[in-house]
Chains A and B, each alone.
Chain A
Amino acid sequence: MTEPSQTPDAADAASAPLSRRDLLAGAAGALGGAVLAGLPLSLDGQQASPARPTVPADATKLQGAPTAAVGTRSEFVTAARTPFGETVGSSLTPLQDLTGNITPADLHFERHHAGIPALDPDRHTLTIHGLVDRPLTFTVDEIKRFPQVVRTHFVECSGNGRAAYRAPKPDMTAQKVAGLLSTSEWTGVTLATLFREAGVKAEAKWFLAEGGDACLLTRSVPIEKAWDDALIVWAQNGEPLRPAQGYPLRLLLPGWEGNISVKWVRRLELGAAPWMTRWETSKYTDPLPNGTARIFTFALDAKSIITAPSHPDRIAGRGWHPIQGLAWSGRGRITRIEVSTDGGTNWHDAEMLGPSHPKSTVRFQYMWEWKGGEAVLLSRATDDAGFVQPTRAALVAERGLGTDYHFNQIVGWKVQRDGQVLFHGET
């Protein structure tokens, strides 16, 4: 089984460089072409790829394409994940190609340890047992008959950003640095609803969640999370979960490390103490310089990343540009996002583009006039738990370079005089 951190590293090495246009720079040329063709401007914009799609010179002079049962992206859009590994695998969300707050379901990052199981929703069940008054088994249809809730939350692998933490390199992309992060609007039922249905005994302090994949992935969860905000979900962004996200049912523990939101969940066992599974002992524990390792480090701390501009963008023109990105916290709501254009000497409040939901991402924006000089663009998030995103130096001093998870250090981008944008990780 793979070390989650190694996967992103290896994925980066294995994946082809993302073909992506510089939204900031070459806007004029590409825009012209797209507008002439009567096509929506693609997210990833002008493409250096030789395989640029062919379109009519003037799309207003002939009939367009017919309707279709299922939509597809414009051929000009090349946003893609970075699949790596066969059954033990991961693929990273192309953060630099996204706008708004929601991750399209087919670009949601993947991380699994025994492949993506093929499950029949008519045969899949969820069983709740152990320290309960009434052990119960639910079909997927029965789960859907409970009152439903709709909530926006991010899922982030706690190994997200390990490569950029341990060895930042100028050619790292936003996808490489933080692509084990995605945000969805989830539909499901609160776990508290199901637990009340089964009647949890007073001595139950933890529950074990087990997935229906080939490694029967198990994690122990403190019972308080069930009474707080835990969900059993079956849909993301208006449609059933994608198989890679747990179809037909997954546990979703808002704000906590992704691994514990057990996908393909089939069993919840109530117990008095944690089970000490492989995924909470040999993995997902955090070594510290004092010779100990933290265990059960669930919450993901306040974090942010600028996604535009980002490597490999090249800013061609002086003048005004939006600096945009995402901020999120597993402890609550993002209350403040600051941007620096001078490497952290001065900080300015950025604007939030939309509501800041708890344990969700929020897109931020800060308008910046580039005058052609060198600049280092950084972002810093603060949440309503009072946590301020730390520098890499501060994290390394506290946790060491070899610590394995929870990398929420400030990162950014260096803009060279020629407009080239390079990753700046040594904050």
Chain B
Amino acid sequence: MRRPLMIAAVLVVGLGACAPAGDGGSAASTTRSEGATAGAADRVADYDAGAVPGGPGKGARFGLGRAASVAQVSLMDHDIGPEGAELPAGRGTGREGAALYAVQCAACHGPKGEGIAPLFPQLIGREPAAEDFRFATDPKLPHTIGNYWPYATTVFDYIKRAMPLTAPGSLTDAQVYALTAFLLSENGVIADSMILDAASLRQVRMPYRDRFVPDDRKGTLIVK
């Protein structure tokens, strides 16, 4: 099964990205054409850097890079997933958050969280129409935290990593809890008396979480 050199050359440039997902392992090269230029995988998913000309061999490592220590990773890794397992210590209330919001957030997002179109989104609001989640039929309906966001942990994660605009990442964990509490209570998701901490935030369920469904578009003649 020899292939013309010309085709092999094109393959190097990257044919075959339409291939199905790979096997997730290092033994991906079973379908490689014998006659193709060494290293030119038939499919992108078959590409094995270890097997390229001069390389260390199929599936072999190059030994580059240095070990990343736990301490080094912890300086960057502040992700909060939907289960909230990574939530830090600290606590805050909506009342504390209201004062912080006025100072840190209102200039862009408006005193009542109404936003400034088009650059700064509306954060607060539970418009009646949103109760039916009619965003597809009403382009004007704002996607607020209360009427759209599926996970409360996302609010904490995003404020902590990216806000406020002029000093991102400058808020303490307690301040982030307070702001999250303020935004959730103003959106009618939690009581305004609630003290938000790791344990209580994990319990918060956003109103429209179940409206989010996996991608079911089909690559066919049928438009979905």
Q: Write the residues of chain A forming the contact surface with B, with a CB cutoff of 8 angstroms.
A: 1-3, 6-7, 9-10, 85, 87-88, 114, 127-129, 134-138, 142, 145-147, 149-153, 166, 189-190, 192-193, 196-197, 200, 208, 210, 214-216, 218, 223-225, 227-229, 254-255, 266-267, 269, 271, 273-278, 281-282, 285, 287-289, 291-299, 301, 331-333, 355, 357-359, 383-388, 390, 394-395, 398-404, 406
Is A137 in contact with B133, judged by CB distance below 8 angstroms?
no
> Which residue of the partner chain A has the closest CB to B208?
A293
In the complex, the answer to whether A127 meets B72 with C-beta atoms within 8 Å is yes
Q: Residue B171 at the A interface, CB < 8 A?
A: no
Q: For chain B residues 54-80, which have a beta carbon within 8 Å of chain A?
A: 55, 59, 61-69, 72-73, 76-77, 79-80
- Which A residues are CB-close (under 8 A) to B154? 276-278, 281-282
A215 and B168 in contact (CB under 8 A), knowing A291-B211, A292-B133? Answer: yes
- Give the docked Cα–Cα distance between A409 and B213 (Å): 23
Residue contact A293 to B133, C-beta cutoff 8 Å: yes
Q: Which residue of the partner chain A has the closest CB to B163?
A: A215
Given the interface contacts A200-B24, A269-B77, does A146 sit within 8 Å of B62 by beta carbon?
yes
21 contacts between A and B (CB under 8 A): A3-B118, A3-B121, A3-B143, A114-B165, A136-B67, A146-B62, A147-B39, A150-B14, A166-B139, A225-B21, A228-B45, A275-B82, A276-B150, A276-B154, A331-B219, A358-B18, A386-B221, A387-B219, A395-B223, A399-B136, A402-B137
Tell which of B23, B50, B158, B215 touches A294, judged by Cβ atoms closer than 8 Å.
Answer: B215
Closest to A210 in B: B76
- CB–CB A358/B14 < 8 A: yes
Contact digits for B140-160, partner A, Cβ 8 Å, 1 yes 0 no: 110101001111011001100
Known: A228-B19, A386-B220. A276 touches B136 (CB 8 A): no
The CA-CA distance from A51 to B223 in the complex, in Å, is: 48
Residues B49 and A398 in contact, CB atoms below 8 Å apart:
no
B1 at the interface (CB under 8 A from A): no
Please pick, from A142, A400, A406, the residue contacting B136 in the complex, using a CB distance under 8 A.
Answer: A400
Measured between C-beta atoms, what is the minimum distance from A220 to chain B in Å?
9
7 closest residue pairs by CB, A with B: A400-B136, A332-B18, A227-B22, A151-B14, A224-B21, A6-B118, A287-B135
Measured CB to CB, the nearest residue on chain A to B211 is A292
Encoded as 1 (CB less than 8 Å from any A CB) or 0, chain B from 35 to 49 comes to 000010000110101
Specify which chain B residues have a CB less than 8 angstroms from the CB of A9 in the assembled complex.
118
B81 contacts A by Cβ under 8 Å: yes
Contact pick for B212, options A293, A357, A398, A404, CB 8 Å? A293
B134 part of interface (Cβ distance < 8 Å): yes
Q: Which residue of B lies closest to A295 (CB)?
A: B212
Residues in A neighbouring B145, C-beta threshold 8 A: 282
Instruction: Report yes or no: B23 in contact with A227, Cβ–Cβ below 8 A.
Output: yes
Q: Does B217 contact A (CB under 8 A)?
A: yes
Closest chain B residue to A198, Cβ basis: B65
- Residues in A with CB closer than 8 Å to B161 are 215-216, 218
Task: List the A side residues contacting B157 at CB < 8 Å.
Answer: 275, 277-278
A399 / chain B contacts, CB cutoff of 8 Å:
136
For chain B residues 4-38, which have a beta carbon within 8 Å of chain A? 10, 12-24, 26, 28
A358 with B17: in contact, given A269-B79, A292-B212 (CB under 8 Å)?
yes
Residue from the list B66, B81, B135 in contact with A137, Cβ < 8 A = B66
With a cutoff of 8 Å between Cβ atoms, the chain B residues found around residue A403 in the complex are 135-136
Cβ of B189 within 8 Å of any chain A Cβ, yes or no, is: no
Q: In whole angstroms, how far apart are the Cα atoms of A114 and B164 in the complex? A: 11
Q: Choose one: B50, B65, B67; the contact of A142 (CB below 8 Å).
A: B65
Given known contacts A1-B119, A3-B121, A402-B138, A298 and B215 CB-to-CB distance under 8 angstroms:
yes
B162 contacts A291, C-beta separation under 8 Å: no
Alpha-carbon distance between A223 and B23 when the two chains are bound, in angstroms: 10
Q: A128 — which chain B residues lie within 8 A by C-beta?
A: 68
- Specify which chain B residues have a CB less than 8 angstroms from the CB of A359 in the assembled complex: 17-18
Kindly state whether residue B89 has any CB partner on chain A within 8 Å.
Answer: no
Asked whether B117 is an interface residue with its Cβ less than 8 Å from the other chain, the reply is yes
Known: A146-B62, A357-B15. A127 touches B68 (CB 8 A): yes
Rounded to whole Å, the gap between the CB of A151 and the closest CB of chain B is: 3
Interface residues of B in 174-224 (CB under 8 A from A): 211-217, 219-221, 223-224
Q: Which of B21, B52, B67, B223 has the most CB of A within 10 A?
A: B223
Interchain CB contact under 8 A, B62 and A388: no
A294 touches B59 (CB 8 A): no
Expressed in whole angstroms, the Cα–Cα distance for A301 and B18 within the complex equals 13
> In whole angstroms, how far apart are the Cα atoms of A106 and B187 in the complex?
43
